[in-house]
Amino acid sequence: MNDKRQRPDRPRGGSRPYRRPQRDPVRILAFEVLRAVDERDAYANLVLPALLREAESRGELDRRDAAFATELVYGTLRHQGTYDAIIAACVDRPLREVDPPVLDVLALGAHQLLSTRIPSHAAVSATVDLARVVLGDGRAKFVNAVLRRITARDLDAWLDEVAPPYDEDPEDHLSVVHSHPRWVVSALWDALGGGRKGIEELLAADNERPEVTLVARPGRSDAAELLRALPEDAGRPGRWSPHAVRLAAGGDPSSLEAVREGRAGVQDEGSQLVALALASAPLEGEDRRWLDGCAGPGGKAALLAAVAARRGAALVASERQPHRSRLVAKALEGNPGPYQVITADGTMPAWRPDAFDRVLVDVPCTGLGALRRRPEARWRRRPEDVRNFAPLQRGLLRSALKAVRVGGVVGYATCSPHLAETRAVVEDVLRGRGGPAVGAEWIDARPLLPGVEHLGEGPDIQLWPHIHGTDAMYLALLRRTA
Ligand SMILES: C[S@@+](CC[C@H](N)C(=O)[O-])C[C@H]1O[C@@H](n2cnc3c(N)ncnc32)[C@H](O)[C@@H]1O
C-alpha cells in the first residue's frame, strides 16, 4: 500500500473530510479481468477462474463474492456495446479519447446501475471508490460525474434515447439494444432468416449465461448415474441427447466422480448431437475406422471414441496444435476401445486416401455460435476473420472427403452459423469451386437427430441457442460417391 493511502483521514480543501476509499476485492478483481481482456486479448473464462482461485486462497473472497465477481465480469462484457452507447451519451468527448481503464470502470458502474438490483447510490459510491483505488482521485471525479448522469434514467429509458428506432435502422437498433456488433447482427440474421422476433430472441439468448451440460460417455457412464450422484434438483436430463445432464446454476462438474475419472465430461448438447449424428449416419459395408480430423480439445472425439468402442470401431483423433493434442489425449484416456491421438495438419494428411469409414471435421471458425460462452469474442472478431478462415475450412473438408472411402460419411461441423462458414463451404467443395470437384452427395442429417425440432429445410442442420438451448452448431453430412 502506498504512502498516500496510509495517511489518516483529514480535511481537504473545504469542509468535506477526506475519506479513504474502500478497497473492495470483488470489484478490483473484476476490473483486473476487464483490463486483461482489453490489454492482452485474454479470455475472461480463463483469467477469471485463475484470479478467483488466487483471491480465495488468500482468504479475500468467499463463494458469494466469487459469484458476484463472475456476474460483474460477464455481465459487463456481454452488454459492453449497450453500455458504451450510454456512456458515450454522458461524456462530452468521443469514447476513443477516454482512457480504456476509465472506460472499464465506467462500464462496470453502468452494469451495476442498469442491470443489477444494487441501489444506485451504493453502485455509484462503490464504483467511485474502485476508481479512486485503481485510477486515482482525479479520474475518480470524472467517473463520479458520468455515473451520476447515467443514474438519471433506467435501462429502457436509456435504450429509447441512444438506440436508433427499429423502423429506421433495424440492424443498428438491435446492435445497440442487444449489444452485438452490427456486422454480427447482420450475419446471424442472414443465417436465421425470418422477422424481428426470431433475431431478437437469438440475440437475447446470446446474452444469457448458458447452463453447464454434462455428457455421460456411453459404455463408461450414463445419464442416470450422473443424476443419482447429484443432489436433488441439481441436475436434469438433457433436452435432446440421451447422454446429457443439465446442471442447475452453480453446479460443480468436478464434484462428480464420473467427471473426475473421465467417464463423463462437460459438453454442450449441440456438440453431442453433432458427434451422435455422424456416428449414426447409415453406412454400407465396413464401419471400423473413424477419424476426427480437428479434434482439439477433444469433446467430440471422446464421445465418438466411446460410441466407436461399443461398435467395434477405432478412432484416430488428429489435431494440428501439439498442446491441444495433449488435451485430446487426456479427454480420451481410459476409453474402453482402440484409439490413437496424433498431431497432424488435416490439410496435409498423415493417413492414406480412402482410409476411413467415418470422418468428422469440426473446423476452426469465428465461433459466432458460441457467444454465450465467450462474452468478449463478439468484440474481438472482425468480418475479415470469416474470409481468413475460408481457405482452411475448404481445405479441411476436401481432405476429409479424400480420407473417407467411397460410400463412407463425412461430417463437416462449425460452431458458427455464418453462412460463409457453413453451407457456402460445403457447396463450393462439392461444386469444385477453387479446387478439384469431389464426388460426394448430401445426406439428410435431420432424421439422425431424433426428436429435435426446427432443424431447417435440410439436408444440413443448424442448431440455435434460443430454439434448442445449445450453441449454434452447424452440421452437414456428405457421402463420398466417387
Ligand atoms: C472447433 S475446434 C474443434 C473442437 C473439437 N472438435 C471438440 O469438440 O472439442 C477446431 C480445432 O481444429 C484445429 N486445427 C486448426 N487448423 C487445423 C489443421 N490444419 N489441421 C488439423 N486441425 C486444425 C484447431 O487447433 C482446433 O483445435
- Substitution candidate for ligand 1 out of 320, 388, 415, 470 with most atoms within 8 A of CB: 320
Among the listed residues 66, 279, 315, 415, the single catalytic one is: 415
| Residue 99 resides in a domain | yes
Ligand 1 neighbour 298 (Cβ under 6 A): yes
Report the CATH number that the domain containing residue 340 is assigned in CATH: 3.40.50.150
C-alpha cell at 121: 447510490
Question: Given phi > 0 = left and psi -120 to 50 = alpha, else beta, which region is 438?
Answer: beta
From the alpha carbon of 413, which atom of ligand 1 is closest? 1
Ligand 1 neighbour 394 (Cβ under 6 A): no
In this structure, the residue with its CA closest to atom 15 of ligand 1 is 364
Q: How big is the chain by its Cα radius of gyration, in Å? A: 25
Q: What pLDDT is stored for residue 268 in this prediction?
A: 98
**Burial of 462 per CB tally in 10 Å (0-12, 13-18, 19+):** buried
Note whether 422 and 314 are same-domain residues: yes
Between CA 38 and CA 19, with CA 124 as vertex, the angle to 5 degrees is 105
User: What is the model's pTM?
Assistant: 0.94
Per-residue 3-state assignment (H helix, E strand, C coil) for 136-186 = CHHHHHHHHHHHHHHCCCCHHHHHHHHCCCCCCCHHHHHHHHCCCCHHHHH
Å from CA of 320 to ligand 1 middle: 7
Note whether 423 and 449 are same-domain residues: yes
Note whether 300 and 437 are same-domain residues: yes
| Residue 164 resides in a domain | no
Look up the domain containing 236 and give its range: 213-266
Note whether 295 and 424 are same-domain residues: yes
Closest CA to 474 of 407, 403, 425, 437: 425
Note whether 241 and 347 are same-domain residues: no
Ligand 1 neighbour 362 (Cβ under 6 A): yes
From the alpha carbon of 345, which atom of ligand 1 is closest? 20
For residue 435, give the 3-state DSSP assignment: coil
Å from CA of 319 to ligand 1 middle: 6
Ligand 1 neighbour 367 (Cβ under 6 A): no
Provide ipTM, 2 decimals.
0.99
Residues 6+ apart with CB under 8 A from 99: 139
**Residues annotated within a binding site for S-adenosyl-L-methionine:** 294-300, 319, 345, 362
Q: What pLDDT is stored for residue 22 in this prediction?
A: 84
**Residues annotated within a binding site:** 294-300, 319, 345, 362
List, in sequence order, every beta strand (DSSP E) within 363-419. Answer: 404-414
Note whether 338 and 475 are same-domain residues: yes
415 is catalytic: yes
Note whether 374 and 404 are same-domain residues: yes
Note whether 225 and 341 are same-domain residues: no
Q: What pLDDT is stored for residue 11 in this prediction?
A: 42
From the alpha carbon of 414, which atom of ligand 1 is closest? 1
Q: What pLDDT is stored for residue 15 in this prediction?
A: 59
Contact 44, 74 (CB under 8 A): yes
Ligand 1 neighbour 411 (Cβ under 6 A): no
From the alpha carbon of 296, which atom of ligand 1 is closest? 27
| Residue 336 resides in a domain | yes
Give the side-chain half-sphere CA count within 13 A for 283: 26
Note whether 309 and 443 are same-domain residues: yes
Between the two ends of the chain, the Cα-to-Cα distance in Å is: 72
Q: Is the dihedral of CA 307, 311, 317, 323 positive or negative?
A: positive
Ligand 1 neighbour 321 (Cβ under 6 A): yes
- Substitution candidate for ligand 1 out of 292, 307, 319 with most atoms within 8 A of CB: 319
From the alpha carbon of 360, which atom of ligand 1 is closest? 6
> Distance between CA atoms of 469 and 465, rounded to whole angstroms?
4
Cα–Cα distances in angstroms (integers) from residue 206 to residues 46, 199, 319, in the given order: 19, 11, 29
C-alpha cell at 279: 456416428
In this structure, the residue with its CA closest to atom 1 of ligand 1 is 364
| Residue 191 resides in a domain | no
Please list the residues that pair with 440 across neighbouring strands.
480
Ligand 1 neighbour 330 (Cβ under 6 A): no
Å from CA of 213 to ligand 1 middle: 21
Phi, psi dihedral angles at 246 (to 5 degrees): -100, 125
pLDDT beneath 50: ranges in the chain:
1-13
Ligand 1 neighbour 266 (Cβ under 6 A): no
Note whether 237 and 301 are same-domain residues: no
Number of H helices, E strands in the chain: 21, 12
Ligand 1 neighbour 75 (Cβ under 6 A): no
Contact 198, 464 (CB under 8 A): no
Over residues 114-135, the pLDDT tens digits come to 999 999 999 999 999 999 999 9
Note whether 280 and 371 are same-domain residues: yes
Å from CA of 364 to ligand 1 middle: 5
Note whether 354 and 442 are same-domain residues: yes
In this structure, which amino acid lies at residue 75?
G
